[in-house]
Amino acid sequence: MASLKEAISGSISCSPTKRTSKARPGLVKLPLLESSAHKARNFRAVGFVIFCPCRFCIWKYNSARLKTKYVLIVMVVLAGSSVHVHSFSNVFSNATTGKFIGQGNEYLKKHDYEKARQFYDAAIAQEPTAWGPYMNRALVFIHQQKWDLALQDLNNVIRLKPGHLIAALMRGQVNTRLGNYGRALADYDRLANITASSSLTMTSAWALNARAWIRATCPDVSFRNGKQALADAKAACASTACRYAGCTDTLAAAYAEVGDFDSAIRFQQHAITQAQQEASAIKDAERRRSAYEKDIALYQRRLAGYERHQPWRSSPRLEGPILD
């Protein structure tokens, strides 16, 4: 697998120019670089538009206080974040917009969300047709658990960049937090259909896994469908060779929903082993501790429920925040 730097440089190049590269299917169509100096300057400004969702996804999959089944691998974000569509919108095309985005990114990395928001607000005021600042401001709102505002910004990203798969996946998460399960499923259905016959295998697995989790564990019975959840969970696991605890955990929940608790117990035990291995590989000591104390404890709670022949019901309170 390519390194993070190589993957980013291979799929995104940013500069305030209107000339565009010939996009390959499955990659974001972004402006060409005019010089190496532009590359160094503008990567800092807009690279976070891609990197921040990437960081957000890795954190959720590997280490934090959440297992809501939306993340499988970083390359989904870097190489599968958008399908090729006819769109005149880019991350940004104005140098001032890029400067505001870059300043906002610096504050976002420092967790100063109000300051970050101010700069993203300025970027949007400067260039309201650029999707980049909406994407990053949505991340600010997610950090602050301002779900309605995050939803508005993700809607704008998708309006301006209709093929942005990561924005659609994030919108599914936010809609789930708001209890808009039907809308979340609509996004996952669309994503699964888009990627089913494409080379975006991991993106398809991601959408199937997210859909399976809602179908298996939704507190609203009208959205649960154990058979469909099991089919989706099996397909997601097949696409990833059952390498990820998040997928295995979803598969266990789906088996529990259809009443096959022996299989649910077996796969949940395997998910716990995988989660322990994933947690031990985290370099950051605080996140490693959080993974052991929160994530694995949650997996063990599910296992205890399956041993009592009780299917799992998801809860935002129990699942934790979307972002660290």
Alpha-carbon span 165 to 135, nearest angstrom: 12
Residue 324 domain flag: no
Region 72-77: mean pLDDT is: 28
Residue 250 domain flag: yes
Residue 296 domain flag: yes
pLDDT at site 34? 28
Total structural domains in the chain? 1
Region 279-306: mean pLDDT is: 82
User: No. of H helices and E strands in the chain?
Assistant: 16, 0
**Contact 132/101 with Cβ under 8 angstroms?**
yes
**Contact 72/203 with Cβ under 8 angstroms?**
no
List the domain range (segments joined by +) for residue 77: 4-319
Alpha-carbon span 23 to 6, nearest angstrom: 17
In the structure encoding, which two tokens stand for residue 113, read together? Answer: 């969300």
**Contact 20/32 with Cβ under 8 angstroms?**
yes
Please name which of 102, 94, 84, 100 lies closest in space to residue 21, comparing C-alpha atoms: 84
CATH number of the domain encompassing residue 272: 1.25.40.10
- The segment with the largest mean pLDDT, out of 142-146, 254-258, 275-279, is 254-258
Residue 226 domain flag: yes
Give phi and psi for 84, each to the nearest 5: -70, 120
Looking at the predicted structure, is the pLDDT value of residue 255 above 70? yes
Region 291-308: mean pLDDT is: 88
Alpha-carbon span 240 to 231, nearest angstrom: 14
Residue 210 domain flag: yes
Residue 298 domain flag: yes
Alpha-carbon span 310 to 176, nearest angstrom: 22
Beta bridge partners of 82: 164
pTM here is 0.71
The predicted-structure confidence for 125-141, as pLDDT tens digits, reads as follows 999 999 999 999 999 99
Residue type, 16: P
